[in-house]
Amino acid sequence: MTAPDDIRALLRAHLPNPASQWNLGTFGAIAEFMRDLNEPVELTDKTHLLAATTARGGIGFRNLTGVTPFASESATGLSWNHRIALCLPEKACAMNRRIVLTELGPDGDALREQDREGILFDMGLDTLQVDICIRTCAPGLIAALRAACGRPLFEAGNTAMAAIVAAGPHRVFITRFGRCEVYQPIPPADGKSPEGPHTHVLPKLMRSGRTHAATEPVPAGLVPCAHLVPAHPVKDAMGRPTPFDATAQKQFQDLLMRYGDAELVRLKQSVLAAVAAGATPSAVGAPQDRFARHALRATLRQLAASGGAMPGLPAWIAAHDERWADGAGAEDAGADDAADAYGHAS
- Residue 109 · residue 118 · CB < 8 Å: no
Local confidence band at 134 (pLDDT 50, 70, 90 cut-offs): very high
Local confidence band at 203 (pLDDT 50, 70, 90 cut-offs): confident
| 337, pLDDT greater than 50 | no
Local confidence band at 340 (pLDDT 50, 70, 90 cut-offs): very low
pLDDT, tens only, 1-49: 578 899 999 999 999 999 999 999 999 999 999 999 999 999 999 999 9
Report the share of the chain in percent with pLDDT over 70: 92
- Residue partners of 251: CB distance under 8 A and separation at least 6: 230, 231
| 206, pLDDT greater than 90 | no
What pLDDT score does 332 carry?
A: 40
More confident residue, 333 or 292: 292
* Range scoring the smallest mean pLDDT among 165-179, 192-206, 253-267, 291-305: 192-206
Partnered with residue 76 across adjacent β-strands are: 79
pLDDT, tens only, 233-251: 999 888 889 999 999 999 9
Phi, psi (degrees; rounded to nearest 5) at 132: -100, 115
Closest CA to 121 of 133, 131, 106, 109: 133
What pLDDT score does 3 carry?
A: 81
What pLDDT score does 346 carry?
A: 26
> In which order are the strands placed within the sheet that holds 21-26?
68-76, 79-89, 222-229, 21-26, 29-33, 198-201
Local confidence band at 334 (pLDDT 50, 70, 90 cut-offs): very low
| 327, pLDDT greater than 80 | no
What pLDDT score does 300 carry?
A: 96
What pLDDT score does 34 carry?
A: 96
CA distance 290 to 259: 19
